[in-house]
Amino acid sequence: MRYHWLIGILLIVIACKEQLGEVTETTVVTDSIACCGPNSGNSRASQIMAATKTNTVDSDSLIINKKEGTSLGMIWIEGGTYLMGGEGKLARQDEFPKHEVTVEGFWMDEHEVTNTQFLEFTEATGYVTIAETKPDWEEMKAQLPPGTPKPHDSILVAGSMMFKPTAGAVDLSDYSQWWSWQTGADWRHPQGPESDIKGKEQHPVVHVAYYDALAYCKWAGKRLPTEAEWEWAARGGLENKIYPWGDEHVDAARPKANTWQGGFPYHNSEKDGYFTTAPVKSFVVNGYGLYDMAGNVWEWCSDWYHPETYKIAASQGRQVNPQGPTQSFDPNDPYAPKKVQRGGSFLCNDSYCASYRVSSRMPGSLDTGMPHLGFRTVKSAN
């Protein structure tokens, strides 16, 4: 569903417009949110979006000129067998039960894809991300109730989700208090239209939807990791530990990751030195030499999200190179296909999502980029 995030906005805006007779450019969103191309029909975005009519995404349909794949900047992750799933009292229901998984060896980026790397991709291909693309009303209305009026032009504009801290403590069940839709926000303007990435060349690229990450992978001759590969790599050779560095709490001693310190979502003490993203390689590596496997930005995986994935896997015995379920399902948002996101972000805090744990998993709509969402790539051994 291409415009899943915008449809939620639209339904609210239409109701407000009828009552108030006006529409504002920044509108609170009611979509479910992971914690804490050219406009023509032949555009890259249109080609990518065609897969959203079903729960299939075919990377072969992306028209991207590939560069030769390389393992430069990647770490070899030796394969092995481990117990995949939740550790500690903060683990959530969809992280259980723990189950035995075997993965073959693979190459993984030592850090998240940076703005510099993504810029190289866009300059080589002319690719335009979803956040930079104006929504197509003809495509949108097919997903809305019959007779839905066309929204004001101020709504049908390119943009992305933005985080804004609240003035004080708030009810954490109402994320609309700190998330809103911002026109002009995208990977080149990560904090809104007045911002840019100058000086942030080595920060992870953000506002990248799943389809954008998929296009980059095709160009780079790489792919997104499976959930099983991602967690195996995040554990860094440690067994039954909560974090990539062990069991010491994320806020204990020196900063170990870029997370939210203080009262979420109103006060970040910035003990780790950052309010939003941090440059890659800012914190200590895990046992495999990988940076930021906890915090900084969420990372896309290739698996469809389903809350019962682990329960099904555990009933089938040891899993070898699992690829995840064949369809996605999010009980909180059953109509939108979603992929798994891993690793947590600079917005994660124990009081809200605590997703800097190695077993934490979140669903993400395929068409939605956010200021705390990026990715890293992998390559198979062969």
Give alpha helix (H) positions in the chain.
4-20, 44-49, 115-125, 137-141, 210-220, 227-235, 309-315
Q: What is the pTM of this model?
A: 0.85
The 10 Å Cβ neighbour count of residue 122 is 19
Closest CA to 264 of 337, 168, 200, 190: 168
> What does CATH list as the number for 4-66+87-380?
3.90.1580.10
The three-state (H, E, C) secondary structure of 248-310, written as one string: CCCCCCCCCCECCCCCCCCCCCCCCCCCCCCCCCCCCCCCCCCCCCCECCEEEEEEECCCCHH
Sign of the CA dihedral with 291 first, then 297, 303, and 306 last: positive
The residues spanned by each domain of the chain are: 4-66+87-380
User: Tens-of-pLDDT digits for all 382 residues of the chain?
Assistant: 445 556 555 554 444 444 434 433 333 333 334 455 322 332 223 332 333 333 445 555 555 555 555 688 999 999 999 999 999 999 999 999 999 999 999 999 999 999 999 999 999 999 999 999 988 788 667 656 788 888 888 778 999 999 999 999 999 989 899 998 899 999 999 999 999 999 999 999 999 999 999 999 999 999 999 999 999 999 999 999 999 999 999 999 999 999 999 999 999 999 999 999 999 999 999 999 999 999 999 999 999 999 999 999 999 999 999 999 999 999 988 888 899 999 999 999 999 889 999 999 999 999 889 999 999 999 999 7
Rounded to an integer, what distance in angstroms lies between the CA atom of residue 305 and that of residue 92? Answer: 14
Pairing of strands 298-304, 373-374: parallel
Q: Which residue has the tokens 């780079």?
A: 220
Question: What CA–CA distance (Å, rounded) separates 112 from 55?
Answer: 26
